[in-house]
Chain A
């Protein structure tokens, strides 16, 4: 057994073990922490597969941000009495559930096994046309040129998710500030850390965003880091969470998607198709879209974590 095979096997086993733990463990909080560790392991797997872009996204969003959101949900659910009876379901129900679950697994396995080999791939076509986009990183080219519509819809989904969280607010807190807790920091150690860490984090976030054109990185990963720095500022009490009814805030949030749609419409006028880029201007337009999306995504991701408005306007 070669060392690299041994490492791959160990990673695969750990990944399966962690997934099992996250599903089977009784405590919701332990399950969520298991999920975050699972995300970090998955990052290592993507690194082994040379998918550095995916690895970065998994670490930032899959493990980090999603894990944090789920952990928040778990904490919120703690102590909530559920209306479901705690009696164990009958044998027939359990057998039916097991049958249903295993047939889904079976179907998935069948679907994977019957895939044609070699799998149909658009990779050669992307590699051939990469030069047209003037972007060095093929992932960025796919996300913002060949499959730009997916990325646009993804951004809109995030805006919708944020609106969903806002709409959970009580009537008299509607439009107020999120109730993101300020940390109890008696000795000022967090304040000290935030003052040193945030400038470094902002530079690294900007760097990851900027190298996205030619190297692994990009707006999503950069925005997650920037949002994390913003959250640190709020957590340490240096900045308050924003009032969600603020027009300036809302303008910045929709700026990214609006510029994206605008560029798309410009494409249908100049290049003949929605989100098409005119010859020679692809890189310029991709950079414009990325630049406009960065602040919007940072705000949206930060606000997703900050949660539902819990304080009235002006407080």
Chain B
């Protein structure tokens, strides 16, 4: 059972790291603010989400699991808001490129 759980952790965290990697690549390579934001939020959503899901079985208490999930939800929430605001600023021309 614990072998299975460990395998799940390795799989999910690796997949999460892949999304972070892809998001970073997008941030560096994409041409404008909107596509860069798109790349960045993928890292938050899927990357962190998969890392958190992968780490859940390694936690020793239900309390710690809840905290991990809460962290993911908070990052999701703030990421959404910040990217919306950045996109608005970019549309109204407050940011240069």
List of B residues within 8 angstroms of A186 by Cβ: 88, 92
List of A residues within 8 angstroms of B85 by Cβ: 183, 185, 189-190
A197 within 8 Å of B (CB atoms): yes
A98 within 8 Å of B (CB atoms): no
List of B residues within 8 angstroms of A193 by Cβ: 77-78, 81
Measured CB to CB, the closest approach of chain A to B74, in angstroms, equals 7
Restricting to A117-164, which residues have a CB under 8 Å from any CB of B? none
Is the pair B74, A200 in contact by a Cβ cutoff of 8 Å? yes
The distance in angstroms between the C-alpha atoms of A197 and B74, with both chains bound, is 8
B58 within 8 Å of A (CB atoms): no
The distance in angstroms between the C-alpha atoms of A187 and B91, with both chains bound, is 13
The distance in angstroms between the C-alpha atoms of A186 and B85, with both chains bound, is 10
The distance in angstroms between the C-alpha atoms of A57 and B85, with both chains bound, is 28
Picked from B74, B84, B92, the residue with its CB within 8 Å of the CB of A189 is: B84
The distance in angstroms between the C-alpha atoms of A146 and B68, with both chains bound, is 34
A196 within 8 Å of B (CB atoms): yes
The distance in angstroms between the C-alpha atoms of A256 and B76, with both chains bound, is 36
Most buried by A among B74, B78, B81: B81
Is the pair A196, B88 in contact by a Cβ cutoff of 8 Å? no
List of B residues within 8 angstroms of A197 by Cβ: 77-78
Measured CB to CB, the closest approach of chain A to B78, in angstroms, equals 7
Measured CB to CB, the closest approach of chain A to B82, in angstroms, equals 9
Restricting to A1-22, which residues have a CB under 8 Å from any CB of B? none
The distance in angstroms between the C-alpha atoms of A189 and B92, with both chains bound, is 15
List of A residues within 8 angstroms of B84 by Cβ: 187, 189
* 6 nearest CB pairs, A to B: A193-B81, A189-B84, A189-B81, A189-B85, A190-B85, A187-B88
A–B pairs, 20, beta carbons within 8 Å: A183-B85, A185-B85, A186-B88, A186-B92, A187-B84, A187-B88, A189-B81, A189-B84, A189-B85, A189-B88, A190-B81, A190-B85, A192-B81, A193-B77, A193-B78, A193-B81, A196-B77, A197-B77, A197-B78, A200-B74
